[in-house]
Amino acid sequence: MDKRIVLLPGDGIGQEVMKGACQVLNAVAERYNHSFSFDTQKIGGEAIDSEGTPLPEETVAACHNADAVLLGAVGGPQWDQNPPHLRPEKGLLGIRKELGLFANLRPVKGFKNLLDASPLKEEVVENSDLLIVRELTGGLYFGEPSGRSADGETVVDTLAYSRSEIERIVEKAFESAQVRHKRLTSVDKANVLASSQLWREVVEEKKASYPDVSVEHMLVDAAAMKLITQPGYFDVIVTENMFGDILSDEASVLTGSLGMLPSASVRADGVGLYEPVHGSAPDIAGHNKANPLAMILSAAMMLKHSFDMNEEAQEVETAVREVVEAGYHTSDLDVKDGVSIGTTEMTKKVVEHISSQDATHNIMRCYA
Ligand code: IPM
Ligand code: MG
């Protein structure tokens, strides 16, 4: 299969981890006889520096023509004082909105031998395996009016949703629950917010179409507590943009392996943007220290969600898991045992794992 992939490495460690993902995708292409073409474009701080905007038109046009987009990370201290329209994050928010990527999927699952890097007791986190489905193109991030009054003394942000915006994300969450453990928790603040009251109504209406999924509603403050006291309780969480932003960062540190967590931002037709949950980590950029596994696992999510290449995605996930279980990790992980290796070495281990299956795979194909 031929697929066009736009690469947006962005800032900081984005460049290094993106290299890792490409090498892994090349290994997948070779093994499974696919052809992936890569088109690298600018976003975030590097685009501000060279083009004067965090999201150049050329980048937007390339993404519109792509089958999927991979993004490294955006941001860094050198742009922190920039005015709002010249901040790297604007590039990320802009491309999500431009492409209409309304569903952000953030799976959190621990690796057994990394659990001692978790800030929680091992027995609390060991069974965590959850997916946050965050609404990504509406809510508090994009509602109008927003901004500051002329005298600078008053500010406003608006949490707005239409029924159809809620419906499509809730449907996505029910579908996700159907292929997991069939438990959906809808998180809101319905005791206070009108937007949450409509959210609840929609979830209640939709549940009849997914009788195999059990649903409950939970207030966002209670959900924040439950995530750290009993993370194993959750299967799929669906929630508004800002709540999802906060809860997904909370969830991402549960298992102690933030550097391993991928995410997908998708729309109904399968086009998607895939990025690690971690940021640009400017302090370690360029030192071959970054953990490439979140980016590599994001590429695996792309294979699955955008290209329907389930076997290939599974292969990448297995390679990552086996390399980690063999005791290799990058220095971001504070684990007692194992061997600490660099970005390029970690990438190489995963690539070798995928390529080494070549011979067996070909034999199987000959007999198939
Ligand atoms: C995320 C990030 C972004 C967000 C920022 C960088 C705008 O925190 O992807 O979670 O809030 O969506
Ligand atoms: Mg965030």
Q: How far is the CA of 250 from the centre of ligand 2 (A)?
A: 10
Domain 119-255 has CATH 3.40.718.10: yes
- Phi then psi for residue 214, to 5 deg, are -90, 140
Query: In Å, how far are 62, 70, 81, 82, 279 from 77, measured between CA atoms?
Result: 28, 23, 8, 10, 12
Q: Could you confirm whether 189 is annotated as catalytic?
A: yes
Residue-level pLDDT at 366:
38
Alpha helices in 126-283 (DSSP H): 163-178, 194-206, 220-229, 241-252
Q: Record the tokens describing residue 219, joined without a space.
A: 């207030």
Please list the rounded mean pLDDT of every run of 10 residues in the chain (368 residues): 96 98 98 97 98 98 98 97 95 96 96 88 93 97 96 98 98 97 98 98 98 98 98 98 96 90 95 96 96 98 97 97 94 86 98 80 42
Q: Which of 67, 141, 161, 210 is catalytic?
A: 141
- Ligand 1 lined by 317 (C-beta under 6 Å): no
Q: How far is the CA of 258 from the centre of ligand 1 (A)?
A: 15
Q: Could you confirm whether 116 is annotated as catalytic?
A: no
Q: Could you confirm whether 80 is annotated as catalytic?
A: no
Residue-level pLDDT at 125:
93
| SS3 category, 87 | coil
Angstrom distance (rounded) from CA 151 to CA 96: 32
Beta-sheet strand order (sheet of 103-109): 35-40, 2-10, 68-73, 272-276, 262-266, 103-109, 129-135, 236-239, 183-188, 214-219
The count of other CB atoms within 10 Å of the CB of residue 184 is: 28
Residue-level pLDDT at 364:
45
Domains 1-109+262-368 and 119-255 agree in fold: yes
Angstrom distance (rounded) from CA 98 to CA 265: 12
Angstrom distance (rounded) from CA 234 to CA 131: 8
Q: How far is the CA of 245 from the centre of ligand 2 (A)?
A: 5
Give the class (CATH, top level) of 1-109+262-368. alpha beta
So where are the chain's domains?
1-109+262-368, 119-255
Angstrom distance (rounded) from CA 248 to CA 108: 9
